[in-house]
Amino acid sequence: MSRNDELIALYDAYCQAGSMSPGTRALKRNYLQRFGATHDLLTCTSQEIVEWLSHNPTWKPATRRSARSALTTFFSWARKMGHRDDDPAADTMAVRVPPGAPKPCPESVLEHAISSADPRTRVAILLGAYAGLRRAEIAGLHADMIDLEAMTLRITGKGGRTRVVPLAEALVEPMTEAKARGGYLFPNGDKPVTPTTLGRMVKPYLGPGLSTHTLRHRFATRVYAGSRNLRATQELLGHASIATTERYTAVTDTERREAVAGL
């Protein structure tokens, strides 16, 4: 094992001890391994970090911010633990990410997807559109997370945050059947399918420019339109920040007209 690999393993153990989610740990390891493939984690400089972050022209701002976050948290840990005397990532510029516009799956597309999908994929589509689950949350859903007495799903998502999502009417029948079968809803042997596999299952039924995540945007938009409660929408989506929730809730043309008519 190389020196870089040893450091990454020590840092990963530190993150695990702090109950960081497996998905977040895997993402951080990935960026550190990619950076470490061409740089020494004990001797690299701030300039080398800046050059590495800037010499990935295909990265979107959110990807670059995620990569920088992985490096800043790692080098902060390395300094605190005595592996380095300095923190070369501390003074790197924060990555500005333009606010994204919500892109809810159109209702006509959703209706067609539900009617044309095979039974297994149909359940995945319903969980995105009527429960607002992330792709990884759908992929890892287990029958134990379904509470038919309370008619809810208990989901642990990003950052290890657990939320309770009431079952919409469209989900009652498929969740009742899933509970009776037991196990993972989307199994691959004795494990669940990967989020990537789940996304590939759903994608053909949504068409160009639409992904599983647009079903989550659809859920957020409909929940907020029906309740006008942004805080409730935030909790149902499992967002740490209400600012993130605001980016998920689209405003319709009708709502804009009604707002102006109210003048």
pLDDT higher for 246 or 85? 85
pLDDT in tens, 222-236: 998 888 888 999 999
Per the annotation, the verdict on 154 as an active-site residue is no
Mean pLDDT of the chain: 91
Is the pLDDT assigned to residue 260 strictly greater than 80? Answer: no
Buried b / exposed e over 25-60, threshold 16 CB at 10 Å, is beebbebbeebbeebebeebeeeebbebbeeeeeee
31, 130, 205, 248: which is the annotated catalytic residue? 248
Q: Which of 64, 79, 158, 247 is catalytic?
A: 158
In the residue annotation, 217 being an active-site residue is answered as no
Checking if the pLDDT of 261 tops 90, the result is no
User: Model confidence at 157, in pLDDT bands (50, 70, 90)?
Assistant: confident
Active-site residue, selected from the candidate residues 28, 29, 39, 134: 134
pLDDT at 245 over 70: yes
Q: What percent of the chain has pLDDT above 90? A: 70
Q: Provide the percentage of residues in the chain whose pLDDT is more than 70.
A: 95
The verdict on whether 239 is a catalytic residue reads: yes
List the one residue out of 135, 197, 141, 188 whose CA is nearest residue 167.
Answer: 141
Residue of higher predicted confidence among 148 and 1: 148
Tokens 């498929």 — which residue?
174
Q: Which of helix, strand or coil describes residue 192?
A: strand
Fold held by 3-80: DNA polymerase; domain 1 (1.10.150)
Encode pLDDT of 162-175 as tens digits: 899 999 999 999 99
Q: Which CATH architecture has domain 107-259?
A: Orthogonal Bundle (1.10)
Q: Tens digits of per-residue pLDDT, 93-127? A: 988 877 767 889 999 999 999 999 999 999 999 99
Q: Which residue has the tokens 């639409």?
A: 210
134 catalytic, yes or no? yes
Amino acid at 194: T
Residue ranges in 106-181 assigned as alpha helix (H): 107-116, 119-131, 135-139, 169-181
Q: Is 184 a catalytic residue?
A: no
Contacts of 147 (CB under 8 A, 6+ apart): 153, 154
Is residue 117 within 8 Å of residue 128, measured between CB atoms? no
Q: Annotated catalytic residue: which of 135, 163, 216, 217?
A: 216
pLDDT surpasses 80 at 255: no
The answer to whether 160 and 21 have CB atoms below 8 angstroms apart is yes
pLDDT value at residue 161: 83
How many residues are there in the chain? 263
**179-219: pLDDT as tens digits:** 999 999 999 999 999 999 999 999 999 989 999 999 999 99
Cβ 215 vs Cβ 244: under 8 Å: no
Domain ranges of the chain: 3-80, 107-259
130 has catalytic annotation: no
